[in-house]
Amino acid sequence: MISEAEVQKLRAIHARGLSVLSLYVWVPVDLPALRELPARADELLAAADVGGQRAVRERHEERRTIRELLQVHAREWMGHTAAIFACAEVGLAEAFPLPCRVPDRAVLAARPHVRPLLVALQRCPEYHVAVVDRRHAWIFQITGSRVDALAQSEAPGVRSRGFGGWYGLESYRISERITQLARHHYHDTVAILSQFMRGSGRPLVVGGHKDTIPAFLGVLPSDARERFIGSFVVDPHTMTPARVRELSAPVVANWVSQREQRLVSQIMQEPPGRLAVVGMSPCLAALSQHAVAVLVVPVGGLIPGFACQACGTLASTPGRCPHQPPTVHPVPDLLEEMTAATLGDGGEVTAVQDPPGHGAAWLRFPLRHVPGTS
């Protein structure tokens, strides 16, 4: 699966001209449809020309590399989106399966088209799951469809002392001992969990019986509690790794959706002229002033535009920059260029299904001037 480090590596690549081919294509799970995959890839590549230049047809080596990588990995990646990048000029030939499905597309540009990779990492993040009961604990790491069992522990039990003496008192003592042992067991589990979570930034989901989940959450330290995003009920003794993923996936999806909604709501509620802008032109103005802290872009779609190599200006029309061609050149996706500019300034990018104004931004500081205002 793709990682943040691999995305950073791709972001550092920049060719002299339109020579980097990026392909995102869903690899079907049934064999008859799989045989149609090369034709589907060719169809996407044929639609990737910029400004009617038919430049893709000239990229014979890149297209051959993409076909070869797809042929090698297709059966291995059935049921996943394949992301493939090729450029003979810079020696690029990379292919990855993505943790979740993104729209099919092919793009020919001067740099790898990484926005769908960021969407996949945002919407299908790696996360940890801790499943606990009073005596047992299991810790998993989930990456896309892959489930890795990281650790398993079992606490010592309470040996029965029979029913001698007053049963009610003895039962109470045993119950208290079980509670104490469970508390120690939870603390031991947290210590193990903290070792895996340290420095990862991954969210945490907790599973188990209804009564054990609150008890376990009660002993989580503040840093782990901040990463806790939800829980699910399961019988630990009948669960399977696949069942853990099945039950935890909706928890993660809901958390991702709520984060997106909170950000959009925060932007929409900000008074005009303050720390938020909505719409492509205001976002472009904010980027030109290096003011964007968080850029909100659509999950899918491409918006053609223009970029200036001399001053870095991004625009929907070439006349917005004082420079002229060949310094100002068309780009296949203005959203990709906006994403690259935001990340280059140390900002963040969030993709949502239907962003307001086709794009919005949370700012570091108010803009000096916003297009369309006096």
pLDDT-derived band at 199 (thresholds 50, 70, 90) equals confident
Residue 89 to residue 113: CA distance in whole angstroms: 16
3-7, 21-25, 45-49, 137-141 — which is least confidently predicted? Answer: 45-49
Q: What is the pLDDT of residues 322-368, one digit of tens each?
A: 777 778 888 999 999 999 999 999 999 999 988 999 999 999 999 98
Beta-carbon neighbour count of residue 39 at 10 Å? 9
Determine the average pLDDT of the residues in 92-115: 94
pTM of the model: 0.84
Q: Locate tokens 């067991």: which residue?
A: 185
Is 249's pLDDT higher than 80? yes
| All structural domains of the chain | 4-123 (3.30.960.10), 127-262 (3.30.420.60), 270-363 (3.30.1330.30)
Strand runs labelled E in the chain: 20-26, 81-87, 92-97, 105-109, 127-132, 136-143, 146-154, 204-208, 228-233, 276-278, 292-298, 305-308, 314-315, 328-331, 348-352, 360-363
Q: What is the pLDDT of residues 214-238, one digit of tens each?
A: 999 999 999 999 999 999 999 998 9
Determine the average pLDDT of the residues in 244-267: 96
DSSP state of 316: S
Is 105's pLDDT higher than 70? yes
Determine the average pLDDT of the residues in 312-320: 84
pLDDT-derived band at 371 (thresholds 50, 70, 90) equals low
The set of residues, in sequence order, having a beta carbon less than 8 Å from that of 282 and lying 6+ positions away, is 361, 367, 370, 371, 372
- The pLDDT assigned to 20 comes to 94
Q: What is the pLDDT of residues 124-149, one digit of tens each?
A: 999 999 999 988 899 999 998 899 99
Is 74's pLDDT higher than 60? yes
- The pLDDT assigned to 88 comes to 93
Determine the average pLDDT of the residues in 17-37: 93
60-74, 183-197, 240-254 — which is least confidently predicted? Answer: 183-197
- The pLDDT assigned to 54 comes to 59
